[in-house]
Structure 1
Amino acid sequence: MENDKITRRNPIGMPKPVGNYTHITRIPRNAELYVTSGQIGLDANGKLPKGFHSQITNTVKNIKQVLYSEQLTAENIIKVNIWATEKIDWDFLYAEWSQLFGTDYPAMTIGYITELGLPDIKIEIEIWAAQV
């Protein structure tokens, strides 16, 4: 039944999304919600690479791991918040992003800020997920 599924759509009359996201995601009442802390680009040894692309790659790996720990997949992601301290190379980010999503994108917000929690962090991504 459609009421028991997470659904994503871009309403008629709305401009097409300017990136890989969906304007609205509906979560059914019986869903269990999961909210992650912002994931950053630490590697498996707890080291933060200096390069922005390396931080993006590690951040996506960390998101996969935190989802896996709760038996969640990209299908469960309902909202993504991205904060970055420098201009995002969207071709690179979307190539990494494609490891999580096919073309069924969640809602997304992106903000450029001057600094994150530690001076060397260049990107932080928070995930909201739901499981029906």
Structure 2
Amino acid sequence: MSRAIRHLLIGGLIMTMGVSAATAANESDRKLTIVNPKNLYDPTPNGYSTAVVVPREARLAYISGQGGQDGTGALSPDFAVQVKQAYANLRTALDALGAKPDQVVKLTIFVVDHDMSKLEVLTRNVKEMFGRALPAQTLIPVPKLAVDPMLFEVEAVVMLE
């Protein structure tokens, strides 16, 4: 496959952008590659992957943090209910982009007053949504989120086809 290469000089840095001359991409060229090195701890039982590689030609979308609010903006006081609703909200955002869960590259989740009892709820919901296509993920414990009753938030980086 031939490529035209364009160079841009920006603030003293050279950026190289590849422009494909091919009109149709291979199906395998649009797949995420999950990397879990054997010499590192296996993160899959906890619902994430060590690294995810995005194909060179992919476009990315960034989904803002989705909390556990229902369609009216109401929040349950129950952590598990908020987590389930937040992942449903993430799925709605993916649908709006024409994307599926297996196109999610990275999740960042924020948990108010995180402790190990919440980990099972988090892992179960991630595995239900993503199956074996577990994205890279970072959990950040926080003292509070945007609104006081909010206990959980999830943001995502998504590869678009």
For the criterion TM > 0.5, the same-fold answer is yes
Deviation of 1:9 after TM superposition, in Å, equals 1.5
Q: Give RMSD over aligned pairs.
A: 1.7
Q: Secondary structure of the equivalent of 1:95? A: helix
Within a 5 Å distance, the mapping from 1:1-132 to structure 2 comes to: 2-17=28-43, 19-87=46-114, 89-132=118-161
Determine the C-alpha separation between the residues in 1 that align with 2:31 and 2:125.
26
* CA-CA distance at 1:92 after TM superposition: 2.4
Number of residues of Structure 1 aligned to a counterpart in Structure 2: 132
Write the letter of the residue equivalent to 2:140.
G
Q: Aligned partner of 2:47: which letter?
A: N
**Deviating 4+ runs (over 3 angstroms):** 1-4
1:74 to partner: Cα distance = 0.8
Q: Which one has a bigger Cα radius of gyration? A: 2
Determine helix, strand or coil for the equivalent of 2:155: strand
Q: Aligned partners of 1:84 and 1:65: how far apart in 2?
A: 21
Closer/same/farther in 2, CA of residues 29 and 46 from structure 1, 3 Å limit:
same
Unaligned runs of 5+ in 1: none
Provide the TM-score with structure 2 as the length reference: 0.75
The percentage of aligned residue pairs carrying the same residue is 24
Write the letter of the residue equivalent to 2:133.
D
1:40-71 Cα distance to aligned partner (Å, 9 max, x none): 01012221111111111110110010001111
Alpha-carbon shift at residue 72 of structure 1 (Å): 0.6
TM superposition score normalised by structure 1: 0.90
Partners in 2 of 1:98 and 1:105 — Cα distance? 7
How far does residue 4 in structure 1 lie from its aligned partner after superposition?
A: 4.0
Bigger relative contact order (CA 8 A; separation at least 6): 1
Query: Which deviates further from its counterpart, 75-84 or 46-55?
Result: 46-55
